[in-house]
Amino acid sequence: MINLLFYLAATVALMAAILTVTRHNAVHALLYLIVTMLAISLIFFLFGAPFAAALQIIVYAGAIMVLFVFVTMMLHQGELSTRQEAQLYRPSQSLGAIVLSLILLLEVVYLLSVPERWLSSQQMTPISAKQIGITLYSSYILLVEIAALLLLTALIGAFHIARRHQEGAS
Amino acid sequence: MNELITPIIILILLLLSAAMLTWVERRVLGLWQERYGPNRVGPFGLLQVVADMIKLFTKEDWIPPFADKVIFVLAPMIVMIMMLLGFAIIPFSPELQIADFDNAVLFFLAISSLSVYSVMLAGFSSNSKYALFGALRATAQMISYEVFMGLSLMGVVMLADSFSLSEIVEAQREQWFFIPQFLALLIFLIAGIAETHRAPFDLPEAEHEIVAGFHTEYSSMKFGMFFIGEYLGVLLISMMIVTLFFGGWLGPILPPLVWFLLKTMLLVLFFILLRAAIPRPRYDQLMSLGWKYMLPLALVNLLLTGALLLFNQ
């Protein structure tokens, strides 16, 4: 059962990802990207990480992608930008991305062909939020602090840019 | 079998009560504003809902030719689906809860953050300036208020030591959480009003400046879905507040379900009273209230709760 659900979610994620790349309408592309996020969240859930699944939806689908759609929505000019996009995009341009993805695909195929323990599907116990919290604030405390520092810097930077803009306007 | 029928009955009851809420709101608003409200159709105007339904269903369902059709149809569905999904985690009574799982609070936050898309996509796909303005406002408002909506819940989670709603209710046997978490209750209530974009925070659909905001181009039952979605949102937020801060189904003598519904009713009436009593703020006031007061307040609440918990250990 879990296998079937996984393959279903994975297929949806892949299809949506492909559609994301090939859409000319930027907002449609972003919507497919959101579908990919949701499918990935389901995969997390299936593999016993409900906390990560919830965060995937809250943070990626619910916050970051909202901002993406928000900005695209403001810049989108209907038919005009769709046509522009269609002119800009040529299949040959995706060559680099295809090569890189092929390398990843080969890697996955190799991993699947080797019967090693890192891919064994048994013994998956759900990880609780508490365990994640304990791990984050013990072994990975340095990473948490670095991330906090980065976010603070970004916050100050954004504040600075917005403030200068305001003074210039008045 | 029972597992299948109960959710369906709950769904139908929810939709009916959301529809009835439109009547309740108009009647109660009328009472507070010293006028009658809808009292023509049936006894006390009770059949007004039926009349409205017939009107909405028989109106022409018009999709503007300039709209992005698929997304235009999708947008009102998203709000209905998200809001109805949200009720799956509510513990109505000890026995009556559709899904009781560990990360229910996170599930609620995910639902509320995904419901932003309905408003946003409605505004985008309508291809009209008022709809776009409404959507921009709604999106900015909802993602800002979501931040400390989540933060305010963390105090409750810390006290109950669990993300599961049934365990949070159980943890309130001795003391309801609105006493130790009064700040959180205040913040969650305000964020809840902003999330459902109800008056006084209904700037996304402020009719005197941007026509009807994001649902300007919607007609017939598609508009009806936004409308019912809003009332479902009010119900969901009220039920969440009852569960998280007012002890859920806990209460003496009366059966748990009755207690739960009573508390929810009172909160819904409070939501309506707010609409009757408080004028709309300006948009920049709304945003600065969020970021400059609510967010620091939520952080202070979190800090204090954590400190007290550590101190008491």
CATH number of domain containing A122:
1.20.120.1200
The verdict on A118 and A167 lying in the same domain is no
Q: Is residue B98 pLDDT above 80, yes or no?
A: no
Who wins on pLDDT, B214 or B290? B290
Q: Is residue B29 pLDDT above 90, yes or no?
A: no
* pLDDT classification of A154: cutoffs 50, 70, 90: very high
Q: Is residue A145 pLDDT above 90, yes or no?
A: yes
Q: Which residue of A has its CA nearest to B104?
A: A54
Q: Test A54 with B120 for CB contact under 8 angstroms.
A: no
pLDDT of residue A149: 95
Q: Test A70 with B127 for CB contact under 8 angstroms.
A: no
Mean pLDDT of B239-262: 84
The verdict on A58 and A69 lying in the same domain is yes
pLDDT of residue A151: 92
The verdict on A76 and A149 lying in the same domain is no
Q: Percentage of chain A surpassing pLDDT 70?
A: 82
Mean pLDDT of B180-208: 81
CA gap A114, B152 in Å, rounded? 48
Is the preceding omega at residue B296 within 30 degrees of 0, hence cis? no
* pLDDT classification of B11: cutoffs 50, 70, 90: confident
Q: What are the tens digits of pLDDT across the range B138-157?
A: 888 888 888 888 888 888 88
* pLDDT classification of A112: cutoffs 50, 70, 90: low
Q: Is residue B131 pLDDT above 60, yes or no?
A: yes
| Averaged pLDDT of chain A | 79
The verdict on A25 and A90 lying in the same domain is yes
Mean pLDDT of B273-301: 85
Who wins on pLDDT, B2 or B127? B127
Mutation test of the interface with chain A: which of B103, B133, B143, B153, choosing the one with the most A Cβ atoms within 10 A? B103
The verdict on A94 and A143 lying in the same domain is no
Amino acid occupying residue B45: G
Q: Which residue of A has its CA nearest to B144?
A: A63
Full residue range of the structural domain in which residue B225 is found: 64-312
Q: Is residue B301 pLDDT above 60, yes or no?
A: yes
**Chain A residues closer than 8 Å to B135 by CB:** 73
* pLDDT classification of B207: cutoffs 50, 70, 90: low
Q: Percentage of chain B surpassing pLDDT 90?
A: 1
Mean pLDDT of A69-87: 75
The verdict on A87 and A110 lying in the same domain is yes
pLDDT of residue A102: 82
CA gap A85, B175 in Å, rounded? 59
Considering its fold, how many domains does chain A have in total?
2
The verdict on A121 and A168 lying in the same domain is no
Q: Is residue B90 pLDDT above 50, yes or no?
A: yes
Judged by phi (left if over 0) then psi (alpha if -120 to 50, else beta), residue B99 lies in: beta
Q: Is residue A90 pLDDT above 50, yes or no?
A: yes
Asked if residues B244 and B169 have their Cβ atoms less than 8 Å apart, the reply is: no
Q: Test A62 with B132 for CB contact under 8 angstroms.
A: no
pLDDT of residue A170: 46
Judged by phi (left if over 0) then psi (alpha if -120 to 50, else beta), residue B34 lies in: left
Which residue from B71, B110, B139 is facing A66, i.e. has the nearest CB?
A: B139
Examine residue B14 and state whether it is found in any structural domain, yes or no: no
Chain A / chain B CB contacts < 8 angstroms: 68
pLDDT of residue A115: 60
**Chain A residues closer than 8 Å to B120 by CB:** 66, 69-70, 73
Examine residue B9 and state whether it is found in any structural domain, yes or no: no
The verdict on A26 and A85 lying in the same domain is yes
The verdict on A109 and A163 lying in the same domain is no
Q: pTM value?
A: 0.83
Q: Which residue of A has its CA nearest to B139?
A: A70
DSSP H or E stretch at residue B34: none
The verdict on A88 and A34 lying in the same domain is yes
Side-chain-side CA neighbours of residue A163 (13 Å): 6
In degrees and rounded to multiples of 5, residue B142 shows phi and psi of -70, -40
Q: Test A78 with B109 for CB contact under 8 angstroms.
A: no
**Chain B residues closer than 8 Å to A158 by CB:** none
User: Is the minimum CB–CB distance between B38 and chain A shorter than 8 Å?
Assistant: no
Examine residue B58 and state whether it is found in any structural domain, yes or no: no
Full residue range of the structural domain in which residue A157 is found: 128-170
ipTM > 0.90, yes or no: no
Examine residue B275 and state whether it is found in any structural domain, yes or no: yes
Of A126, A141, A160, which closes a domain? A126
The verdict on A134 and A158 lying in the same domain is yes
* pLDDT classification of A1: cutoffs 50, 70, 90: low
In degrees and rounded to multiples of 5, residue B192 shows phi and psi of -65, -40
CA gap A167, A162 in Å, rounded? 9
| Averaged pLDDT of chain B | 83
Q: What are the tens digits of pLDDT across the range A59-69?
A: 888 888 888 88
The position carrying tokens 């890189």 is A100
The verdict on A152 and A121 lying in the same domain is no
Considering its fold, how many domains does chain B have in total?
1
pLDDT of residue B77: 85
